[in-house]
Amino acid sequence: MADAVTKSLSICAISTALPSEKATSLDPSGSDAFDRHNKPRLRRDLILHALSTAFPSTTFKVPPSSSCNLVELYTRVHDVEMVSFLSTAWSKWTAMGEAKGYYEECCHPQWKQTEDEPIPPLIPCHAAFRNCPNERPSTNVMGAMGYYCTDNMTPIVASLEKELQEDAMIICHAVKRAFEDSTVVYAITTHPGHHANIDNFGGYCYLNNAALCARLMQRQLENGKCVIGDDNELVENYWKTVDESSSSKRKKCRVAIIDVDYHCGNGTSSIFYSDSSVFFTSIHCDPAIEYPFNQGYADQTGCGDGEGSNLHIPLAPGATWDGTYKAALEKAMDAIVNFDVAGLIVSLGLDTYDGDSVAVNRAGFKLSGKDYYEMGLAMGSFMKGKNVPTVFVQEGGYKMDTIGMAAANVVGGFAAGASE
């Protein structure tokens, strides 16, 4: 009898909770009430529920950590001052006090005070003049919000700082699991991250989870050390352990990010635009029609050292799997394989689903059910036999009745495609 050579990849869903600890009802609550489309907390809970149902006993609960220093963790991704702003904004905002009339000035016009949330979400009401050299982020939280945040749909709310810390810890543990358990990992963060740029944020995104994941993977490839130590705690001063001579080994530290959210991952693209060590590819609705409008065109291929390491594949509205999506995905995966990567990140947005509600004038894509399995299967097939650690990172997705199924289909398809 021949030796068994079948190697089936396992799936690990990473969350800060166990499925039983999260709501699975379709009723959004708390901070999700801000926006009638964006329900990040509900999405997180539904995906956790769906993955743990589809792949029983694969949920990894991030152990409660004594501290997560976002400023330190994100030093290789974002402007330090912006991360520091995000970490302190809510407490500064609450401290301004209603009596001064500030809350009224910088709260959403649709905000209705409730007993649960007596303090309004903070949104920008003072836009920055980006090309003016005399602008700087004010020490006043309202001014700084106008400086860093690019739109009025990405509010600072009470639960945000804790959620961002949890999201960062999820990414850290996802990298550990991907490297140590050779499993496909799904990082169930609360917030998406792909519109968060080096020093500005918006589009429902605050910090760029995929970019952090890429930097952590590269760091681990470089020196073999994970950001999460054997004690399951964050390694202190992780970035300071960089061996500068390692740049000669750079080819071994190449990673790729494929962004399949319906919207272009403009933040991730910008962060790595001049970086030849990270290949970024995004399949999205034509930015001439859809958010983020000013980025995501096919002729934007990277700059400087990074020329050629950025591949945007804009598709016309109404894209179907057989029509244009499958070919686009194959083009993107082919480019990734040619780039010869040692780590893969999938920025997984599920708003390509037929009928998703955020599309402008219902432009939208038309993927559904089995298309998501095919998507995962195709990605996995390209990576088969390569033994490349892979992390799925949560981006958007707004069709709540199908989102859990779509997420499970992609990751299940990937495991099947990549298994030998």
Residue 37, interface with ligand OKP (CB under 6 A)?
Answer: yes
CB of 352 to ligand OKP, least distance (A): 10
Q: Give, as ranges, the residues between 240 and 269 that touch Zn ion (CB under 5 A).
A: 261-263
Residue 396, interface with Zn ion (CB under 5 A)?
Answer: yes
Catalytic site includes residue 49: no
Selected from 204, 279, 365, 414, the binder of ligand OKP by CB under 6 A is: 204
Q: Which is nearer to ligand OKP, 300 or 352 (CB)?
A: 352
Nearest residue to the partner Zn ion, using Cβ:
396
Q: Give, as ranges, the residues between 328 and 357 that touch Zn ion (CB under 5 A).
A: 349, 351
Instruction: Write the interaction track for ligand OKP spanning residues 251-290; mark x where CB under 6 A is met and - where it is not.
Output: ----------x-x---------------------------
Q: What is the 3-state secondary structure (H, E, C) of the chain?
A: CCCCCCCCCCEEEEECCCHHHCCCCCCCCHHHHHCCCCCHHHHHHHHHHHHHHHCCCCEEECCCCCCCCHHHHCCCCCCHHHHHHHHHHHHHHHHHCHHHCHHHHCECCCCCCCCCCCCCCECCCCCCCCCCCCCCCCCCHHHHHHHHECCCCCCECCCHHHHHHHHHHHHHHHHHHHHHCCCEEEECCCCCCCCCCCCCECCCCCCCHHHHHHHHHHHHHHHCCCCECCCCCECCCHHHHCCHHHHHHHHHHCEEEEECCCCCCHHHHHHCCCCCCEEEEEEEECCCCCCCCCCCCCCCCCCHHHCCCEEEEEECCCCCHHHHHHHHHHHHHHHHHHHCCCEEEEEECCCCECCCCCCHHHCCCCECHHHHHHHHHHHHHHHCCCCCCEEEEECCCCCCCCHHHHHHHHHHHHHHHHCC
Q: Give, as ranges, the residues between 76 and 115 that touch ligand OKP (CB under 6 A).
A: none
Count interface residues toward ligand OKP (CB under 6 A).
13
Q: Which does 203 bind (CB under 5 to 8 A by kind): ligand OKP, Zn ion, none?
A: ligand OKP
Residue 351, interface with ligand OKP (CB under 6 A)?
Answer: yes
Residue 206, interface with ligand OKP (CB under 6 A)?
Answer: no
CB of 195 to ligand OKP, least distance (A): 6
Give me the residues that bind Zn ion (CB under 5 A), please. Answer: 261-263, 349, 351, 396
Q: Which residues are part of the catalytic machinery? A: 195
Give me the residues that bind ligand OKP (CB under 6 A), please. Answer: 37, 192, 195, 203-204, 261, 263, 291, 349, 351, 358, 395-396
